[in-house]
Amino acid sequence: MRSDHLRPDRRTLLKVALGLGAAATVHLIAADPASTPTRPARAAGTPPAAAPGPPSGLPGRPPAYRLQPMTAATPPRFRPAAPPVRTRPFEELPDLGRSMVLTFDDGPHPRYTPDILATLRKHRVRAMFFVCGEMAEGNRDLLREMADDGHVVGNHSWSHPLIPGLSRAAIRDELGRTSDIVDATLGTPPLWYRAPYGAWNRNSFEIGADLGMEPLAWTVDTLDWTTPGTSTIVRRVLGGAAPGAVVLSHDAGGNRSQSVAALRRYLPRLLDDGYRVTVPQRV
């Protein structure tokens, strides 16, 4: 999504999303076993440990931190079983244990996404990026960087429209074109999608499933798109931290400097509190 202009009122749309009911539960989703374990919880009053230095290897980006894609041990055209047609999206992932999932929407953006990737790389954790096709088309290098670092690339439609106002053909075009861009760039299509504004309908669930994707919403909305201040974003993430929580932030769609700065602050605190920041794996 190129900017925040003409967005429908998000609070109204969130009420629509919440009206879909509680999250579905599925046992075919697990934490990615290759994700880095958490740091041990730090006792009160104990100073934080120094950040780990870069792994040994070639200069530049630490090669040991190029986490392997989740399908690295499977045939190149691996596809999980086609998902069922859901009636509501997943909002949390309770089967992940003391883990949390960080997600970033609307990118990739050449200004903000690299900083987010650098922070995730520094702390050796993976996240999910729900990309818009119109942004991915001109920033395929960032898609490759996401995949090379082991992050999950999801589908967030082509142009960030309000899905319930579209015909079935238009929904298929929005989701299908974005999946095609991801597939052409990374060699595999996305396995997850998120409706813009959290506004889903039956057509989107059916078409998403037909394209092989599961729908994922969120548990913690940082509302970072309102630019409420870095400290406010940090407080919302830490206040909503819980096993299985899915955090929604943005790496495009407007000025995301607060989102970038907030991630630098809350991510090490989550790890110090004993959370494992990971990504779901469909099996």
CA atoms within 13 A on the CB side of 54: 12
Radius of gyration of the chain, Cα coordinates, nearest whole angstrom: 18
CB 247 within 8 Å of CB 218: yes
Catalytic residue among 105, 106, 115, 221: 105
CB 96 within 8 Å of CB 244: yes
250 has catalytic annotation: yes
105 has catalytic annotation: yes
For residue 267, how many other CB atoms are within 10 A of its CB?
A: 21
Residue with tokens 């994700």: 35
From the number of C-beta atoms within 10 Å of its C-beta (0-12, 13-18, 19+), residue 5 rates as: exposed
Question: Quick one: DSSP state of residue 269?
Answer: H
| Pairing label, strands 280-282, 29-31 | antiparallel
Catalytic residue among 109, 149, 250, 251: 250
Structure tokens at 248: 């929604």
Of 233, 224, 273, which is closest to residue 98 (Cα–Cα)?
A: 273
* Residues forming the active site: 105, 250
